[in-house]
Amino acid sequence: AATAPRIPPTRLALHHFDVSYSLQLKELWPSVRAALLCEQKYGALLNNFAAVDYVAQELELLDATDFVSEAAKKAQRWQRGAAAEEAGRGESVCQEGSGEGRVVTQAEAPPPLRASIGSNIQCYTFPRGDITRFRPARPDSLGLLDYYLMDAASLLPVLALNVQPDDFVLDLCAAPGGKTLALLQAGVCGHLAANDVSTSRTKRLYQILQSYVPREIRETVSVTSCDGRDWGQLEGGTFHKVLVDVPCTTDRHSVMEQDNNIFHRRRTKERQMLPMLQLQLLMAGILATRPGGEVVYSTCSLSPLQNEYVIE
């Protein structure tokens, strides 16, 4: 053991992904693999609490676009196209006795656009292939930073949660705080509970709230450091919307960063137990939701064991 070569956890992670994801994704895996190994590309989540109206114009001059509003426009175009296709169906069916005609099939429709896409949330990204970096965030006259840099994909669970006015919302695994901040940007939460089991990560959450959110809004957010698996017993049947963004293998971090890497040999057991932890957190999130409420479960992993199998 003393003389055996030490294999870095990043290499162990990549080997694990090569074996498992190549079977799962087949011919798509080489391009996904290349994306995982590329430099991370961020989006700029605009801070609606900061008095910086010029930021959107500044970003647009740099050729960045708000991908949230772009998604809404694409959905509207699709809906118009689907309506036109439906209207033209009458011209495509067989006429009785003619013996002629053709089969018309409609492409599978994308899921209906949730109301939250049209919300106040704005997140700017550079075009595909453009790896320009955003400048560091700047404070306004009150000291609130103008935007928060995050992986744009991390915004999707927040949009899927579709928070409505006066909803009671729980972010069960909230730290370091990007999704919590995004939930507040919608400006419609009746109350937001942000929890994370790690006290050190919760401190980071506090820092983000202080840097981006005015005091009167922060007072509507309750921050706790409880074990999320116990939340259903603490406040069961309370919330309209619950976000369960669980700890996972965090695939990009696993192949890029040595520090705090879950593929380190000392963390093997922890990694193997992740699906059970994720299942327990999801169950707690469901129990915390009032009847008729909604739960969004999300990870930063491609693993079916941590996604589809947990849901099943």
Mark 269-293 as b/e (b = at least 16 C-beta within 10 Å). Answer: eebeebbebbbbbbebbebbbeeeb
284 is in an annotated binding site: no
174 assigned ligand-binding residue: yes
Q: Which of 123, 189, 248, 300 is catalytic?
A: 300
152 assigned to a ligand binding site: no
Diameter of the chain by CA atoms?
85
User: Cβ–Cβ contacts within 10 Å for residue 229, how many?
Assistant: 17
Is 140 known as a binding-site position?
A: no
Measure the CA–CA gap between 182 and 113, rounded to whole angstroms: 18
Task: Tell whether residue 230 is among the known ligand binding residues.
Answer: no
| Distance in angstroms (rounded) separating the CA atoms of residues 233 and 8 | 40
Q: Is 94 annotated as a binding residue?
A: no
**179 annotated among ligand-binding-site residues:** yes
| Residue 300 is among the residues annotated as catalytic for this protein | yes
Looking from the CA of 232 toward its CB, the CA atoms found within 13 Å total 12
Q: Report the distance separating Cα 306 and Cα 309, nearest Å.
A: 6
Q: Any binding-site annotation on 248?
A: no
Q: Other C-beta atoms within 10 Å of 226: how many?
A: 15
175 is in an annotated binding site: yes
Helix, strand, coil in percent for the chain, rounding step 5: 45, 15, 40
The reply, when asked if residue 178 is annotated as ligand binding, is yes
124, β-bridge pairs: 44, 66
Positions marked catalytic: 300
Q: Binding site for S-adenosyl-L-methionine: what residues are annotated? A: 173-179, 196, 227, 245
Q: Binding site: what residues are annotated? A: 173-179, 196, 227, 245
